[in-house]
Amino acid sequence: MAATPPDRPVPSALRTAVRQWRENGEPPQRASSWSRGSWLKYFPGRQAFLDSLPDSVDRAEAARHAADAVTPEGAEQAFLVAMIWGYGPVGYGPWRTARVLTENPHAADRLAEVAIVARDSGGLDAFRALAHEPLRYLGVAFGTKYLRFVTAALPVETAPILDAVVRRWLAAHTGWHPNIDEWRPAVYEKYVAWLTSWSTEFDLDADMVEQMIFGSAITQEGSALWGEQWASTAGSPARMARAALLDLQRLFETADSQAALEAREHLDELDRIIQRGWTM
């Protein structure tokens, strides 16, 4: 993934996140807990596989199960673990995952094809492949989670995740609001170029920079989903409002593109209003 010069220098918030991580030695993101029973309800034919997974799934575990994603069977398992990690304890995660796999003809074959592209040409081309022929109900936020673990398991550069948490961080610290409501290769290419350029200053790869961003964002926001637990909402109406807003954003992240597009402008404006109230 070749980098181009970024439009902005390394954000100070990223410098702080990397420094704190190196000083404290803590992982930038903890493992995701999940409800085994909820997933078994939607995937009864996968009981043996689901039973083999630990009660909490971290990035290393998800990447381990993506090693065979170039086959349909392996791709479906890799996708399941990526979604379990991504949704964590969120109740509608199993249903949304099942919808991707059942309402797209030959979904596992398609996921395997994308993994082959990633193996042969890298994450950017795999993103382009999904953008050219997207799977219905699989948006960029969760699609890049699958790409992240597939590429992490292959001898290629790991494709970083671009989800709503990262999007908000970029908006707050660079002024850029990447559009992730649709599969836009140019947006993802710019994102990867920024991370890759920033990574050279810290002797890290782009994927680790994304982890720094994510860890920094959840520490600051304490958001409510995917392990982003709000640290304290008691006595803080602004924090409670932002927690509710994050729930709404998650609901639209895997919705139909048109619904997401119609909602995004209003959600962003609500976020700006809440943040103004928070700092007053």
Number of Cβ within a 10 Å radius of residue 132: 9
Calpha distance 66→88 (Å, rounded): 18
Judge whether 127 and 144 are in contact, CB under 8 Å.
yes
pLDDT digits (tens, 9 = 90+) for 30-82: 789 999 999 999 999 999 999 999 999 999 999 999 999 999 999 999 999 99
pLDDT in tens, 234-274: 345 555 565 566 656 555 554 555 555 556 555 555 655 55
Strand partners, 57: 32
Is residue 32 within 8 A of residue 57, CB to CB? The reply is yes
Q: Give the separation between CA 191 and CA 139, rounded to whole angstroms.
A: 16
Smallest Cα–Cα separation from 136: which of 162, 165, 93, 102? 102
Token pair of 221 as six digits: 């926001």
> Looking at residues 198-220, what average pLDDT do you find?
88
Q: Which of 82, 73, 149, 141 is nearest to 112 (CA)?
A: 73
b vs e for 68-101, b when ≥16 Cβ sit within 10 Å of the residue's Cβ? ebbbbebbbbbbbbbbbbbbbebeebbebbbbbb
Segment 90-95 shows an average pLDDT of 92
Q: Which residues make beta-bridge pairs with 56?
A: 33
pLDDT at position 2 over 50 = no
> pTM for this structure?
0.79
